[in-house]
C-alpha cells in the first residue's frame, strides 16, 4: 500500500472513530436508556485502525540505517501502543471498550504529526537483542503509564458525573469505581516493574546499549523522579491504603515527570535545538 494511501486511510479510520466517540460523549440522564446504534461501527473499525496505524509505524520507523525514533514517530508509537492496550483490555472488561474512543482523536493527531513534523533520530539497531529488549520494555512501560493516566482521569470524571446524575453513554458502561481503582493499581504495578527494568538496564548497560556511559542529564533525572513518584504511590496504597483522588493526583504527577523525561527531551532536542 503506497504511503500516501496508508496515511489517508489510517487518518480516516481514526477520524470516523473520533466522530463516534463524540456522539457517545453527549450526556444523558442516568435513568434514560442510551442505545448506541454506531457501536458496531466502532467494534469493526478499531482493529482496522490499529492494523493500519501499525503498518504506518513500521514504514516510518524501520529504515535502512536502523530505527527512526524521531519525536513524531515516538509519540505515534506510544499512542498506538496505548490504544492497542486499551482495546485488548476492552476484550477482557467489556465496559472499558468505550474508552478507546477517547484515544481516537489523540491517535488522529499522532498520524497527522508524523506527516507534518520532519524530524529524524536514527538509532543504529544492528540486531542487538539487548537493545531490542530494553526498547521493547521501555515502550511497554511508557504505554502502560499512559493507559493508567487515562484510566485515572476517566475515574475522576466518572466520580464527578455520578454525583451529577448525568452520564455520557460510554461512561455508563464502565465498571464500578472500586473495580476501576483495582485495575488502576494493577496497571501501575505492572508498569512500575517494567520501568524499574528499563532504568536498571539503562544504568548497567548504557555503554553497550547506546555506545556511551550513563550521563545524568534532565532525561535521566526526570525518569528517576517519575520512578520515585510511582513507587511512592504504590507503597502508599499497599501500606497506608491510599486511594481515590490521592491516587489519581499522584498518577498525574508521575506521568508528568515521565512525559518531561521522554517526550519533553525529544521535543527540545529535535524541534528547538535541531539536534538528533
Residue 229: its pLDDT value, please? 94
Residue 136: its pLDDT value, please? 84
Residue 43: its pLDDT value, please? 77
Residue 34: its pLDDT value, please? 47
pLDDT digits (tens, 9 = 90+) for 13-22: 999 988 887 7
Instruction: Quote the CA–CA distance of 111 and 44 in Å, as a whole number.
Output: 20
Smallest CA-to-CA distance from 57 within 130, 139, 150 is with: 139
Within 10 A of 106 (CB to CB), how many other CB atoms are there?
A: 17
Would you say the pTM of this structure is higher than 0.85? Answer: no
Question: Which segment of 16-25, 176-185, 263-272 scores lowest on mean pLDDT?
Answer: 263-272
pLDDT digits (tens, 9 = 90+) for 195-219: 898 888 776 666 555 555 556 666 7
pLDDT digits (tens, 9 = 90+) for 117-152: 776 667 776 566 777 787 888 888 888 998 899 888
Residue 30: its pLDDT value, please? 46
- Over residues 266-271, the mean pLDDT reads 51
Question: Which segment of 87-91, 122-126, 237-241 scores lowest on mean pLDDT?
Answer: 122-126
How far CA 194 is from CA of 9, 74, 142, 144, 254, in Å, comes to: 33, 18, 9, 9, 15
- Cβ burial of 150 (10 Å; 0-12, 13-18, 19+) is buried
Amino acid at each position: 500500500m503506497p504511503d500516501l494511501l496508508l496515511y489517508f486511510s489510517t487518518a480516516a479510520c481514526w477520524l470516523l472513530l473520533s466522530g463516534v466517540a463524540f456522539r457517545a460523549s453527549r450526556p444523558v440522564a442516568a435513568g434514560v436508556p442510551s442505545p448506541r446504534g454506531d457501536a458496531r461501527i466502532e467494534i469493526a473499525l478499531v482493529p482496522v485502525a490499529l492494523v493500519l496505524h501499525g503498518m504506518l509505524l513500521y514504514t516510518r520507523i524501520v529504515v535502512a540505517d536502523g530505527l527512526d525514533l524521531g519525536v513524531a514517530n515516538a509519540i505515534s508509537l506510544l499512542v498506538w501502543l496505548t490504544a492497542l492496550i486499551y482495546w485488548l483490555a476492552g476484550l477482557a472488561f467489556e465496559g472499558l471498550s468505550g474508552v478507546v474512543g477517547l484515544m481516537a482523536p489523540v491517535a488522529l493527531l499522532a498520524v497527522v504529526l508524523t506527516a507534518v513534523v520532519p524530524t529524524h533520530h536514527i538509532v543504529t539497531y544492528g540486531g542487538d537483542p539487548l537493545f531490542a529488549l530494553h526498547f521493547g520494555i521501555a515502550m511497554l512501560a511508557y504505554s502502560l503509564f499512559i493507559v493508567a493516566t487515562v484510566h485515572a482521569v476517566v475515574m475522576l470524571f466518572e466520580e464527578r458525573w455520578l454525583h451529577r446524575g448525568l452520564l455520557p453513554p460510554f461512561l455508563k458502561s464502565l465498571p464500578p469505581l472500586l473495580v476501576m481503582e483495582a485495575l488502576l493499581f494493577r496497571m501501575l504495578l505492572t508498569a512500575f516493574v517494567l520501568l524499574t527494568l528499563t532504568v536498571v538496564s539503562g544504568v548497567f548497560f548504557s555503554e553497550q546499549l547506546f555506545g556511551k556511559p550513563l550521563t545524568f542529564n534532565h532525561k535521566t533525572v526526570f525518569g528517576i523522579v517519575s520512578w520515585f513518584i510511582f513507587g511512592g504511590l504504590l507503597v502508599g496504597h499497599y501500606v497506608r491504603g491510599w486511594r481515590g483522588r490521592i491516587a489519581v493526583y499522584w498518577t498525574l504527577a508521575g506521568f508528568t515527570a515521565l512525559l518531561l523525561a521522554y517526550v519533553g527531551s525529544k521535543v527540545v532536542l529535535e524541534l528547538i535545538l535541531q539536534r538528533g
